Amino acid sequence: MRRWFDDLPKYADDSSWWPNGTTRCRPEVFLFWLGLPLTIMAYFGLSAFLVLFKGLNQTNMNDYFAFGVWIVVDLAVIALGAGAFFTSFLNYIIGKTELKPIVNAAVLIGFICYTGAILMLGIDIGQPIRGWFGFWHANVHSMLTEVMFCITTYAIVLCIELLPSVLDNRRIGKVPEFGTFSHNLHTIMIVFAAAGTFLSFFHQGSLGGMFGVLYARPFAYRGHLGIWPMTFFLFVMSAIAAGPSFTTMVVMITEKITGKRLTSHKVKMLMGKISGWLLLVYMVCKSVDTLYWAFIYLPSKGLSVGQMYQAPYGSWLVWAELGLFGWLPAILLLTPRVRESYGLLFLAMLLNCIGVTLNRFIFTIQSLALPVMPFEKFFSYLPTWQEWGVASLVLGHGLLIFMLAYRYLPIFPQEPELNQR
């Protein structure tokens, strides 16, 4: 018996699976921390069961709020996951190879965001086993059909983009078939990056376009450029501005938790600079769009800005979205001294990510809160605990995949070099 206990650490030792030149915490510590995502996923499981078994009466969605917290979280994580396609685009297609140390992390985070959103939407549609109907009985005039096609196809592309990282695991990579397949995938990755860019551009845009075509809702409706409303382009711009920030933020949080340096600060500063310029362009376009909407479009329909903002969705939301979480992070990210500081860079990126999340909240919830008939009143919406439970899947599933990937996959190629003692 004693010998069995003595031998136990040897069998429990998973260090031969860790990336080359790295160290990780002991397996029992890792297993203990896995309890956190598993608890969140258990909460999701209970909520999802109730929603699927008892129906949408478990939520606070109704005839006015056909979209709730699930769509807000879905739109937010899709935007935050845009770092995957944009970083891959810059690295593989534009040739910005300085981003190579962070591209694996960007793909992993994108994979987490997209698969999490798809799983959550499986509950949102109410009948997950009929999910394929959208492909077979497609309504080609619907923005959501385009979103569905692109998101599912892009999730497949992300699986392919992530595959080399899995195959490059220290033990898996020793199998000649896997090692050779991984090598060949690396050489052709530019094609998948291009396909991912095409798909992402259209579904990020169509998520915004979905609101911009609601001509009966003046809060969301916008003028068109070609067949696309302005929100199509604004959603693409805001996603590519926030995506690189979110990727870098996740890397920084991982660095703080693990106590290790995972990418050089130069790479983070570059991501911050890219985010800053993209955010600046977005803020200029968004501000012009808001001014046109407030002072030309709304008065032309006999409406005023004041009617659009009522408690609890007051005008403070405009100042928060455009000022505190819009122009401020753009200015901060474009200031070299801010980017040089670890803490300030993180703060600016956090404000940027909150901004895009707030934008998705405003378009989803506030658009529906406004009355469309003279006899209706201004509505508000608060999710139930079951709705939060389903939405928490993204967090639980993300933590679980990220923890496993960090432990076993070579996601951060600079880690061994940066942590040499």
Partner 1 sequence: MLPFVFEWHWDIGHIVFFGLFYGVVSVVFGVLGLTILKTILDLWAGKIHSADH
Any contact of residue 166 with partner 1 (CB under 8 A)?
no
Would you say 233 and 225 are in contact if contact means Cβ atoms under 8 Å apart? yes
Query: Alpha-carbon Rg of the chain, whole angstroms?
Result: 23
Cα 211 from Cα 215, distance rounded (Å)? 9
Of 191, 190, 192, 172, nearest in space to 182 by CA: 172
Size of the site for partner 1 (CB under 8 A): 33
Cα 200 from Cα 111, distance rounded (Å)? 13
In DSSP terms, 313 is beta-bridged to 310
Q: Report in angstroms how near the CB of residue 155 gets to partner 1 at its nearest.
A: 11
Q: Could you tell me which stretch among 195-203, 216-224, 309-317, 370-378 binds partner 1 (CB under 8 A)? A: 195-203
Would you say 293 and 229 are in contact if contact means Cβ atoms under 8 Å apart? no
Cα 16 from Cα 360, distance rounded (Å)? 43
Answer for which of 30, 181, 277, 327 binds partner 1 (CB under 8 A) is 181
Answer for which of 177, 301, 311, 373 binds partner 1 (CB under 8 A) is 177
CA 164 to chain centre: 22
Answer for which of 199, 220, 330, 353 binds partner 1 (CB under 8 A) is 199
Any contact of residue 301 with partner 1 (CB under 8 A)?
no
Q: Report in angstroms how near the CB of residue 138 gets to partner 1 at its nearest.
A: 5
Any contact of residue 140 with partner 1 (CB under 8 A)?
yes
Nearer to partner 1, 226 or 374 (CB): 226
Cα 416 from Cα 18, distance rounded (Å)? 11
Would you say 350 and 252 are in contact if contact means Cβ atoms under 8 Å apart? no
Any contact of residue 146 with partner 1 (CB under 8 A)?
yes
Any contact of residue 260 with partner 1 (CB under 8 A)?
no
Q: Report in angstroms how near the CB of residue 412 gets to partner 1 at its nearest.
A: 18
Answer for which of 24, 170, 217, 265 binds partner 1 (CB under 8 A) is 170
User: Which residues have C-beta within 8 Å of that of residue 152, sequence separation ≥ 6?
Assistant: 118
Helices marked H in 55-175: 69-80, 83-88, 100-124, 133-136, 143-167
Q: Restricting to residues 99-138, which ones interact with partner 1 according to CB under 8 A?
A: 135-138
Q: Report in angstroms how near the CB of residue 133 gets to partner 1 at its nearest.
A: 10
Any contact of residue 188 with partner 1 (CB under 8 A)?
yes
Q: Report in angstroms how near the CB of residue 176 gets to partner 1 at its nearest.
A: 5
Q: Could you tell me which stretch among 29-37, 143-151, 248-256, 272-280 binds partner 1 (CB under 8 A)? A: 143-151
Stretch (H or E) spanning 290: helix 265-292
Any contact of residue 228 with partner 1 (CB under 8 A)?
no
Judged on CB neighbours under 10 Å (0-12, 13-18, 19+), 180 is: exposed
Specify the length of the chain in residues.
421
Query: Looking at residue 229, what DSSP letter applies?
Result: E
Any contact of residue 232 with partner 1 (CB under 8 A)?
no
Answer for which of 192, 232, 235, 246 binds partner 1 (CB under 8 A) is 192
Q: Is 163 helix (H, G, I), strand (E, B) or coil?
A: helix
Any contact of residue 224 with partner 1 (CB under 8 A)?
no
Any contact of residue 185 with partner 1 (CB under 8 A)?
yes
Nearer to partner 1, 43 or 192 (CB): 192
Any contact of residue 176 with partner 1 (CB under 8 A)?
yes
Cα 262 from Cα 272, distance rounded (Å)? 16
Nearer to partner 1, 111 or 149 (CB): 149
Stretch (H or E) spanning 333: helix 328-333
Q: Restricting to residues 303-332, which ones interact with partner 1 according to CB under 8 A?
A: none
Any contact of residue 183 with partner 1 (CB under 8 A)?
yes
Would you say 230 and 222 are in contact if contact means Cβ atoms under 8 Å apart? yes
Whether omega before 312 lies within 30 degrees of 0, making that bond cis, reads yes
Answer for which of 8, 25, 31, 191 binds partner 1 (CB under 8 A) is 191
Nearer to partner 1, 227 or 311 (CB): 227
Answer for which of 180, 287, 315, 380 binds partner 1 (CB under 8 A) is 180
Q: Is 341 helix (H, G, I), strand (E, B) or coil?
A: coil
Residues that bind partner 1 (CB under 8 A): 135-138, 140-141, 145-146, 149, 153, 156-157, 160, 170, 173-185, 188, 191-192, 195, 198-199
